[in-house]
Structures are given as structure tokens and as C-alpha cells.
Amino acid sequence: MKVQLIQNNAQTEPYWFPKPCFHCDEPPCVTVCPTGATFKRTDGIVLVDNERCIGCKFCVTSCPYSARQFNWGHKDKFEDKSQPYSPETSIPGSEGTIMKCDFCPDMLRQGKLPHCAQSCPMGVIYFGDKNEDIVTNGEETVRFSELINDRGGYRHLEHLGTKPNVYYLPAVNRQFPLERGFDVDEEIIERYKDVPYVKELKKQGKI
């Protein structure tokens, strides 16, 4: 999952925006894949079969959410061959193919939440079945429809017609300063070096 720093305009404060694969009901990535390596399961999850992927990157350019990454082979962890390959786990990775968030279907088979929902210390990631109208973050279980209605939930770039299955809840208040998100490796901070807000924080010595 990518976490991006977004600022809607110069007059508003920036905010952190987690962006997984949106597992769309109308996924353009599936339509453009020439080998069928990208496919949509009956339960709505979109997966990539690296054994069929030829690395053409058509799916990368067609995804409006920039949810896909090309495995250039520079990360050793992507090449772990210690276990048999499965599209449901995305590992071991294969150099020259596409990777992305897969909603951890292997975890779902065990009745567990995806790794992102399990590991989020603030419990901000809910997961569940929209048809059953139930979602949970591991601590509390709520009705999906009520959560969306009560909190004004929305779908990112919904006007594109992809019918994404990831919803966002607008922030009620900011519990922690944005700078806390930079308490990470210098290599990650370097990615945001050209963002005006980040430049100002560095100038003030806050990061």
C-alpha cells in the first residue's frame, strides 16, 4: 500500500492518503491485460498471476490510481523462493512482472484481516463484505452502510466509472501532527523533498 502526501490547494493543510489497489468492479487493468494475468475473482478481488504476466505494463498505465508497481528486481525480498508461488500471496515475486495490493486473500481464507488492517495502530482500516454490510478493524465491528452514511464516506475518483471498492472516511479532527509521518527512514523522506510543505518543514527544522 502506498501512502501519499496530498494537498488539495495552497490554502488547505496537506494530509496523508493511504492508497491500496481499489479492486474495482470495472477494472481497466483487467480489460487491457493481453495474457489474462490480471483477473477478477467472483468475490471482487483483483489478482495478478505472475506466471502469466509478461511485464508489458499495460495495466500500470491503465490504472487511474497508480496502484501497481513493476518489479525491477532490485529488492531481494521480492525474490524470496522459500515457498511455492501463488497469486493469492504475491510471493515469491518474479522480476519483470507486476505487483500490487491484493487484499491478502490467503489471510481471508484463514478468517483473518489483511495485514494492513491488522497492523494499523490507530485502527483506521476497516475490511469486510459490503454485501453482508459488515466491516471490522479488528477492534470493533460495525455496519458498512451506517459507517459510510454517518461519516460521509466517499470513493476516490468515483467519476471515472471504475466503481472502486475502497471507501474513505473524511477526517473528523487531526489527532496527531502531520510531521509525525516523517518519523521514518531518511530514504522515504527524500521522496517528498520537492513538496513545498515539506521544504518549509525542513527549513523550520521540524523534520
d(CA 112, CA 92): 21
Residue 55 covered by a domain: yes
Residue 88 covered by a domain: yes
pLDDT category of residue 197 using cuts at 50, 70 and 90: confident
DSSP 93-143: --TTSEEE----HHHHHTT---HHHHH-TT----EEETTTTEEE-SS-EEE
Centre a 10 Å sphere on the Cβ of residue 45 and count the other Cβ atoms it contains: 18
Range of the domain at 102: 2-11+18-121
Residue 79: the pLDDT is 56
Prediction pTM value: 0.83
Residue 207: the pLDDT is 77
Residue 77: the pLDDT is 55
Q: What is residue 179's DSSP assignment?
A: G
Q: What is the pLDDT of residues 64-110, one digit of tens each?
A: 999 999 988 755 555 556 777 788 887 777 889 999 999 999 999 99
What's the CATH number where 92 sits?
3.30.70.20
Residue 113 covered by a domain: yes
- Total domain count for the chain? 1
Mean pLDDT on 158-169: 96
Q: What is the CA radius of gyration of the chain?
A: 18
Higher pLDDT, 96 or 9: 96
Q: What is the pLDDT of residues 31-44, one digit of tens each?
A: 999 999 999 999 89
